[in-house]
Amino acid sequence: MAINNIFPVHRLGFYDVVNPAGEDLGQVQEFMLDIAQGRIAFVVVSFGGILGLTDKWFALPWELLKWSGGQKFVLDMPREVLETAPGLDKKTWSEDIDLSWLAECYSHFACVPYWETPVVNEEHIKKLAYSMWEAEGRPEGRALEQYYRAERMIREQEVKRQLG
């Protein structure tokens, strides 16, 4: 099944991918945006190689990357997982991606495909925060605290759902 609503978002700069020890794991080539859902679907990362000649390109689930500042993302994953990931042809990758292949990538990285997870939206968070505010007797001056607590609760529920 072809994917018609995912487009590359040409990066604004270079973003390295490193492990928690700071060792190089690759470089982000593209952020892939699902415009229908309004979220990043995955990231195309180059791994290994010398001067871009023998590097491997692959689709990495967005949720695996953690921003560390300084133009770097941290990926807490053994190098061997990247070496065995389904690869992309760097000349034709944008035409080669389909949902079954992308599902295989997500499975390789032990992630639930993004299209199978609900989008946590602002409205959902606000409704939960409001319910919490009412349940706590409508305290004044705690709106921000309740908002962030609601957001954290929703995200924790999502992680638990993904882990089964």
164 has a pLDDT exceeding 70? no
pLDDT digits (tens, 9 = 90+) for 45-93: 998 866 556 688 999 999 999 988 788 999 999 999 999 999 998 888 8
pTM of the full structure = 0.68
What is the pLDDT at residue 114?
87
| Homologous superfamily assigned to 6-111 | PRC-barrel domain (2.30.30.240)
Contacts of 102 (CB under 8 A, 6+ apart): 3, 41, 42, 59, 113
Task: Annotate 29-76 with DSSP letters as a single string.
Answer: EEEEEETTTTEEEEEEEEES-STTSS-EEEEEEGGG-EEEETTEEE--
How many CA atoms within 13 Å lie on the side-chain side of 54?
4
Domain boundary assignment for the chain? 6-111, 122-163
Summarize pLDDT for 90-112 with one digit per residue, the tens: 888 888 888 899 999 999 999 98
Q: In this structure, are residues 108 and 102 in contact, taking their beta carbons and an 8 Å threshold?
A: no
pLDDT digits (tens, 9 = 90+) for 129-161: 898 888 888 899 988 898 989 888 887 777 666
- Do 27 and 33 meet the contact criterion of CB atoms below 8 Å apart? no
